[in-house]
Structure 1
Amino acid sequence: MRSRWRLIVQLAVGTGLAWLLAEQVFGHQQPFFAPIAAVIAVMAGGGQRHRTAIELVFGVAVGVLVGELIIHIIGRGSWQISIVVILAIVVGTLLGLKGLALTQTVTSAILLAAVIPVAGAANPAATRFIDALIGGLVGFGMSLIVPRNPLRDIDREVQPILRGLASNLAQIADALRGLDSRAADRALMRARNMQPAVESMIATATNAREIARMAPMRWRQREDVEDYFSSLTNIDNAVRDSRVLARRVATMCRHGDAPPADLAFAIDSLGKAVSMFGSNLSEHDAFDKARHELIQAARIATLALSEASSINSAATVVQVRALAADLLYASGFTRDQIDERLDFD
């Protein structure tokens, strides 16, 4: 509950404020669509792009407008609901709505077909269209006034991935020492299973980046968020590299190829460097020890190339160097800095 206090405040204040504005300021009766739209905007802003939140609210508004206009002409009933649904889908599609936005268009229209308006009230189509926009704007505003901590959100996603990558690299090194192809295959499967978490990390970081750009309370974090965000692609690449590395090691073990000396030690150095990254990737000045381990791993792999006895073993040592380079990118090094430090000729 401590991690969701902002969401609770956004929903509680946003729904109440949306109702208050629609009822007291605009004089609407039963403005239930205002708090509903506020909830949609807040929930979309908490885990998706703010553009998606706006599209969802727009979908609600379109559904409200289409539904009320059609029902005002043909009335309410079972066959009328079918007609409303068809028209809502057609209009929403022509306006470019899709996914959740189109779903909200249809469900809003259906809800209107089942709700009898208050007798003597103003034009329900106009009032409920305005209610949806009021709620959407209020909900969107609440996500900016009481924003989540973007750095904390990214860090919460990144740290389990870094721990999993470090653990997997250690298991790959152990598999290589024991020439255990099954252990390498298990490491490969674990690396593949990390991909959904990586995709979730990137989605969360995209949303956090927008919060830092748009929410005044988070403007001071924009630079740190950008540094963090720039590292995520390279973390993704490192996870993918670990899959290739595990597959190469498994192939070496199955073929009985003798690994080059100290290759397992080089993989251990990669895992140790990942563990050293700490709790915030935006603090690049704290990465000196991790960078030293990565450069050391690349050095060992480079020296091991001359000892490679097969294509598989050569590909494995090259992959260690590639993984080290991606992690150096994640630590903030530029391409020129990496080329300079990994030039062991």
Structure 2
Amino acid sequence: MRRARDIPFRRLRLPSGGESLTDRLWTVRRRWRLLLRLSLATSLAYFIATEVLGHRQAFFAPVAAIVALISGGGARVRTVLELVLGVSTGVLVGELLILGIGRGPWQMALVVALAVVVGTVLGLTGLALTQAATSSVLLTAVVPFAGTGNPAVTRFLDALVGGLVGLAMVLLVPRNPVRDIDREVQKFLTRLALVLNGVAAALRDGDAVRADRALTDARNMQPLVDSMTATANNVAEVARISPLRWRQRAHVQLYTATVIDLDNAVRDARVLARKTSALLRHHEEVPADMALAVDALAAAIGIFADDLSEQDDFEEARGELVQAARMASLALPSAATMNSASIAAQIRSLAADLLYASGYTRNEIDERLEFD
């Protein structure tokens, strides 16, 4: 059986300020798939639209491919549908009006307004409504070459070609979803463990300032939560639609199923740090061994992080989480103050959130955390 103290919790360098040039170059290196997809998608979409379909003004085909690749993380299929639906609405309204009133500044104002009105009535939102407006603008502003066909039809086909090519690039040149979500989750868990280590140190030293610093660190974790959530949505889609990544679907599901519970865990960590600060500022007695309980919780997070990466059964992590909650309950004196009781309760809540993340049901958690 591994012991928490024997497991090297992976350390990720967290930037304290702006990114250096080296960091940015490393980001470029990690985005080689995106660069490849963008290059292939734009050139292929343009080739199909110009050489296969014979469109002379096929500028929107590569633009649509870019939109599908960059703007659709986590919902690319929906993005392509919204793209085509929005373009269809814009070109339909624009073409009907232009045939009757021609092109010009006041005509553009009328066409755009009516395109947005029609799109809203049809229930379009977000990207679809934006594309309805921009499509109507382009139809009004760009005079088609003679012999290029109906601009409404070509605009629609270009949007369809670009969107489908962009989606195809995601299927054929997919990122590694497990690596992407693991990077985000490990960064999050590392920061969460550091917050708990700060709380434990504050309890040991009776240092309210250090508890406040841990609270600030916990509050600053929201960007990590947002990034982790966005990545989870993205990788879940990649694993679902790309045949090259289907074998990773179970591991991706293991990660994505934890995201909500990890978000709840950091919320509990904020309350824990705030209650610790209140207890120390009011010079209340620090319950014996409560700092050890928080340390045990931080160590359990390290084991949990390793189990996620290794697709382990979480049994050791669960045991450590239950032990941390038990230590907090035993450390609570009989004449507990509101703050000390809250600290013990938050340790239990945080342990419960991570047990949820490990796949435990509510009844299983209640049974494991039922202490005499």
Alignment of 1:189-228 (within 5 A): 189-228=216-255
Give the drift of 1:279: 5.5
Taking the aligned partners of 2:201 and 2:207, their CA distance within structure 1 comes to 8
User: 1:96-245 maps to which residues of 2 (within 5 A)?
Assistant: 96-245=123-272
Deviation at 1:26, TM superposition (A): 2.3
AA aligned to 1:51 is R
Partner residue of 2:301?
Answer: 274
Which residue type is aligned with residue 237 of structure 1? N
1:311 to 338, 347, 370: 338
Equivalent residue, structure 2, for 1:74: 101
Residue number in structure 2 paired with 1:15: 42
Contact 1:257 1:309 in 2 (8 A): no
Q: If each structure's helix is expressed as a fraction of its own residues, which one has the higher value?
A: 1
Shift of 1:173: 1.1
Moved more, 58-67 or 71-80: 58-67
Alignment pair present for 1:291 and 2:318: yes
DSSP 3-state at the match of 1:97: coil
Residue 340 of structure 1: CA displacement? 4.0
Structure 2 portions without partners, runs of 5+: 1-27
Shift of 1:261: 0.5
1:174-204 CA-to-partner distances (Å, cap 9, x unmatched) read 1222222232222222212212321331222
Amino acid at match of 2:186: Q
Write out per-residue CA displacement over residues 320-340 of structure 1, whole angstroms, 9 at most, x where no aligned residue. Answer: 112112122223444454344
The separation in 2 between residues aligned to 1:134 and 1:10, in whole angstroms, is 15
Which residue of structure 1 aligns with residue 279 of structure 2?
252
TM-score of the pair, normalised by structure 1: 0.92
C-alpha contact (below 8 Å) 2:307/2:314 kept by paired residues: no
Change (3 A) 1:60 1:143: farther
Amino acid at match of 2:115: A
2:81, 2:71 → 1: CA distance?
Answer: 9
* Paired residue secondary structure (2:258): helix
The number of residues matched between the two structures is: 345
8 Å CA contact 1:157–1:200 kept in 2: the answer is yes
Counterpart secondary structure, 2:308: coil
Gapped regions of structure 1 (runs ≥ 5): none
CA deviation map 1:271-322 (0-9, x unaligned):
1222333467253427454334322211211212344531211121121112
- Partner in structure 2 of residue 2 of structure 1: 29
CA distance in 2, matches of 1:139, 1:309: 60
Name the TM-score, length of structure 2 as normaliser: 0.85
Q: Which letter does structure 1 place at the counterpart of 2:94?
A: G
| Aligned 8 A contact 1:308 1:314 in 2 | no
Question: What's the offset of the Cα at 1:88?
Answer: 1.6
Change (3 A) 1:57 1:146: farther
**Alignment correspondent of 1:93:** 120
Identity of aligned residues (%): 59
